[in-house]
Every structure is written in structure tokens, then in C-alpha cells.
Chains A and B, each alone.
Chain A
Amino acid sequence: MADKNKYREKFPEKDPDGSNIIDPESHKFIKVWQGPQHPGITGNMSLELILQGDEVMHCKTHVGYLHRGFEKLMERRRFIQCFPLVCRIAVPEPDFNEYCLAATLEELAGIKVPEAAKWMRTLILEMSRLTSFLMWLGGQSGAFGLGVAGQWTNYVRDLMLDRFEEISGGRIYRMHIPPGGVRGLTPDGFRARMEETLQAVEAAMKDVDRTLFDNAVFKRRTVGLGYIPPEMVDAYGVTGPNARAAGVPKDVRRDHPYLKYPELDFDVITGNDSDVYTRTDLRRKEILLSVDLIRQIMAKMPGSGEYMAKLPNVLHWKIPRGETYIRAECTRGEYGFYTVTDGSGYPRRINVRGPSYTHAVALMEKLAVDCNIADVAGLMSSLHTYPPEIER
């Protein structure tokens, strides 16, 4: 490591702000595009990498391959018509979008959600977090050539999707959190089947622990890679596990409690230095925390009761003029909807704040520099970027 930096002192020369000066005419650099083909779990976005040898000297993020204009589409739809649209903004965990939209409309229209629905929403969000992390772990290990851990976690993720199917009928897009409440409570015998699934997750995580975290290759390649110092957290808008791994205890579930999180017993997990290994390890702990939270929710939530508030005729639903910001902690960090209404039956503007917006552009462009090109895919996975929420 020290030798490499010594060699770097002379070439390439640096700008006063510390970035490498790239002169294409010198013929000492080559340009390589990573993406936009789906490179694993990170979605369709591309990195324009300028290399010297096999080391990255400069990185630029390009997005736009998944732009569907959700924010614009929502301006032309009635409030209830936005509901089946928002889940498509983030495929691995659509429920956070549904919750944010529902909570926004409820706050602006003054609708009170029944208690049982709040418990059910908390359960759905935690299950969603668990499935998303399990899928992510496959991408992270796959990026470093360890495909088998991902096979196991995706198997248990599938078991969790079965539980989703029992609740809502949907496996990928659950659409279970409409404005006003939820579409239903848990079916008979759900608790026992959920407990079985949670035990399967725990068993799989024990195997993953041995194959991934005790693996010399994985450790050698990830310790020290993509380090985020704590002072970069606010300067680059880093949230979620990426920030917590740097020792900054930022967690919306604790900082801005919503739904039933204040009634659950949990500690914010933090790490010491946010490199790829610490971030992966932190997310492993988050998976186990989610398992614990689901158990707590199952023990506390009522099995029956009112679960949907009375809504006005949704085809003529007008919401008074106002604006608000609702956030939730998704797997990647702070997810939020900033909504402005103008008193009509349509939203004036809904802005979706996805955590990848900052992680995949400003942060990624900074961290990729001085990385080996073979580590770029793993670094991208470790930030848990997700392009559709950048482009909306």
C-alpha cells in the first residue's frame, strides 16, 4: 500500500483540490465503461472509469437508463391512482414507497390510522427490509466471486416471499399499504409459519457467516476498500448503513420514530470504520436485528381489529393546500417523500428522496478513485445503490 502511494506521488499530477489531472493526449490512460448492463445487484447505471493500468483515476456516474418519470406521472393522477404507481420506484423493497405515500396523504388530509394497521405496516416494512438485505448479500458476495452465499440467502428470501404472498397475494409488489390503513391482517396459522421462516433465515446466516465473513479472500479484498470517514457523512449526504458503519448513529427508526418503532426494543447498530467489510458485517447484523424485530412485532401485534380508516370517495378526494416531508428508514438509508398539494384532486408535486441519489453519484465518484478496477463492482454493491430511485 505504502509503495503504491510513493509511485503515485509523481504521476498523475493533482489539482489543488486533490483530484487527478487526466490528459487523454498523454496516451497513459484508458477509458472503460462499467455498465449500463445489469452488473449484478446494482441495477442499470454506468460508471465511466478512466484507468491507469488497472487502477481507477477518475469516475463519473451516468444514470438515465431506468427513467420512467414517476414524479411527473403522479402530477397527472388522482391521489389514489398514485398508490399502484409508487411501489415500482424501488423493486426490491416497494413497501417503503407505499408507506411514505400513505403517511403523507394521511397527514395532509387528517386521517387517523387504526392501531392494528400500524402494527401490520411495521411488520410489512421489517419483512421487506429483511428480504431486500438477503438479496443484497447475494450481490455483495457475488461481486467478489463467492456465488454460493447468495444462493443460500436467495433461497430464504423466497421463503419470506411466501409469507408475503400469504398476507397480500403478491410476492414482489405487495401493494398492502394503501392510504388509510392496510388491506388485511395476518391469516390463520401465520405466526407458526413465520417462526419457521425466521429460523431458516438464522440457520442460513450461520452458514453465510462461516463462508463469507471468515473467508480469507473476502477479508483480504474488502478490509480497507472504499473507506468513508465520519466527516464525509454529512458533507456527502450519506445515510443508513453506510453512515452507521462509519460510527454515526443515524437511523430514522430511532431519530424520527414512526409507526410502532417506539414500542420495539432495539439498539442502533454502528461500526467503527466504514469500509466494504464493515458495511457488509453491519448489514449482516441488520438482518439479525430485523429477525428479532419481526419476532417482537409478532408477539405484540393484535390478531384482529379495525385495519382500515374510512376514506372519502377516492375518485373525488381533494386534499387541502399544504406541504410535508415523510421519511422512513429503508435498507439503504433515509427514504422520503416531499409532497406539495394545492387543494385540487391531484398532487402538485411529489419528490422522492432516495438514498442512492447521494450514494451512487457524489459518493461513488469520490470512493472509486484509487480503487482497482476488479473491486469497483464490489464497492458499488457495498454502497447498496439502486438506480430507479435516482431517476424516478
Chain B
Amino acid sequence: MMKALIERLEQKFRISEVVRQRNDELFMTAAKEEAVSLVTYLKEYEGFTHLVLLTAVDWLEAGRFQLTYLLNNNAVKADAGIRVYLDRERPEMESIHHLWKQAATYQRELKEMFGIGFPGSPRVDEPFILEGWRDIPPYRRDFDTKKYSEKTYFPRPGRKTYDPEEYMKKQLYPEE
């Protein structure tokens, strides 16, 4: 089933890095300008009607974000993940809120947590979880949580800290 699907998609779209993770799970990379058409095609013609999730991965070293659209086809019980790479300097993507209502929530969160813009998506600029946040978007990998908490919260006196790695090594592998 999946093999035939890949062949059909390859005829219509420029897809690459196709990985069959399991018999019922497929990941592929799509070109940025074709991604929404690919998602729409999968939804309308291939039966992938359920948007499981929409999320981003930060590849800081490569200077790009990866968006992942995960779709599910409940008739044949299969998943298709579509990766899209965005330039980290100007991250912006077409919105898919017209296909699924809940996509607007995902896009609002991505705007807040990764700073990825989705022009036209409803309420995309309203804060979702963080209110009054002024730092860089916190789920980016160059945001240092430890530094932030040291800067924002005062240290409490009398607290001992252990290096977790040393501590666990002593607990788990004392003879090594």
C-alpha cells in the first residue's frame, strides 16, 4: 500500500528523503512551496483526513527549522509525516487552518515557541502559553533554560547541588 502511495506522490510532487519507519508509517521531505498542496492532496484524495500533529524541530547547526505535518489515514490505518525545511533567519510558512480547525492552535504555539510565522492564521499573534514574553522564542535551541532561570530567579541559600551524571554513576555502576 505504502509503496504504491510513494509512487503516486513521486509522480505529482518533488519529495525526497522517503523513510518507511514502520509498515504503517512513512516520513518524507517536501519542497516548501509544494508542502501545503501535498498535505491537501493527501487529505482530499488519499484519505489522510486526520491531522495528528504539527510541530517543529530546530536544526541549529544547519541553520534551518523542520516542520513536521503528521497525517493519519484511518481507513488503511497508516501515518504519513511530511517534513518541510525553513530558513532559520526568516522562518515563515503557509497556513493550513483552512484544512483543519485545530491547525490554528498548533500554528499559534509554533509562532510563540519557535518564532515561525504563519500569515493569515487566526489569532496567530496572540500569546498562547507565555504572557508578556520578551526573550527569544524559548523552544529554539539557542535559548538556554539554565541561564534564563539563573538570571530571572534568585538563588536559594543552603541548597546543595550534585552533578547528576556523577551521582547516577556512583549509584548505578559503582565499580566502573
A-contact bits for B104-117, CB 8 A (1 contact / 0 none): 11100000000000
Q: Which partner residue on chain B sits nearest A234 by CB separation?
A: B49
Query: B16 on the interface (CB 8 Å rule)?
Result: no
A63 to B129, alpha carbons, bound, how many Å?
Answer: 6
Asked if A72 and B139 make an inter-chain contact with CB atoms under 8 angstroms apart, the answer reads yes
Asked if B51 and A237 make an inter-chain contact with CB atoms under 8 angstroms apart, the answer reads yes
Shortest beta-carbon distance from A390 to chain B in Å:
8
B-contact bits for A241-285, CB 8 A (1 contact / 0 none): 000000000100001100000000000000000000000000000
Shortest beta-carbon distance from B112 to chain A in Å:
10
A residues 157-215 touching B (CB-CB < 8 Å):
none
Query: B150 on the interface (CB 8 Å rule)?
Result: no
B25, B58, B106, B145: the one within 8 Å of A324 (CB): B25
Shortest beta-carbon distance from B11 to chain A in Å:
25
**Also in contact, A348 and B102, with CB within 8 A (given A64-B131, A314-B172, A338-B68):** no
Shortest beta-carbon distance from B123 to chain A in Å:
9
B-contact bits for A344-359, CB 8 A (1 contact / 0 none): 0000110101000110
B68, B77, B102, B165: the one within 8 Å of A357 (CB): B102
Query: A329 on the interface (CB 8 Å rule)?
Result: no
Asked if A250 and B74 make an inter-chain contact with CB atoms under 8 angstroms apart, the answer reads yes
Query: B55 on the interface (CB 8 Å rule)?
Result: yes
Q: Which partner residue on chain A sits nearest B83 by CB separation?
A: A323
Asked if A338 and B55 make an inter-chain contact with CB atoms under 8 angstroms apart, the answer reads yes
Residues of B within 8 A of A357 (CB): 102, 105-106
Asked if A73 and B145 make an inter-chain contact with CB atoms under 8 angstroms apart, the answer reads yes
Asked if B52 and A67 make an inter-chain contact with CB atoms under 8 angstroms apart, the answer reads no
A358 to B100, alpha carbons, bound, how many Å?
Answer: 10
Query: A115 on the interface (CB 8 Å rule)?
Result: no
B-contact bits for A320-348, CB 8 A (1 contact / 0 none): 00111101000000101010100000001
Shortest beta-carbon distance from B6 to chain A in Å:
17
A234 to B57, alpha carbons, bound, how many Å?
Answer: 25
Query: B152 on the interface (CB 8 Å rule)?
Result: no
A50 to B137, alpha carbons, bound, how many Å?
Answer: 31
Residues of B within 8 A of A109 (CB): none
A-contact bits for B131-146, CB 8 A (1 contact / 0 none): 1000000110101011
A325 to B52, alpha carbons, bound, how many Å?
Answer: 10
Extra contacts besides A237-B101, A323-B68, A358-B102 (12): CB < 8 Å? A64-B128, A67-B130, A107-B21, A234-B100, A236-B100, A255-B77, A322-B19, A322-B21, A325-B25, A334-B52, A340-B57, A361-B102
* 23 A-B pairs in the complex with CB atoms less than 8 angstroms apart: A64-B128, A64-B129, A64-B130, A69-B138, A69-B145, A76-B145, A234-B49, A237-B51, A237-B102, A239-B50, A250-B74, A255-B74, A315-B168, A315-B169, A315-B172, A322-B21, A323-B21, A325-B70, A325-B81, A336-B53, A351-B53, A357-B106, A362-B102
Interface residues of B (CB under 8 A from A): 19, 21-22, 24-25, 27, 49-53, 55, 57-58, 66, 68, 70, 74, 77, 79, 81, 100-102, 104-106, 127-131, 138-139, 141, 143, 145-146, 164-165, 168-169, 172-173
Q: Which 10 A-B pairs have the closest CB atoms?
A: A64-B129, A351-B55, A237-B102, A358-B102, A362-B102, A349-B57, A234-B49, A353-B53, A362-B101, A361-B105
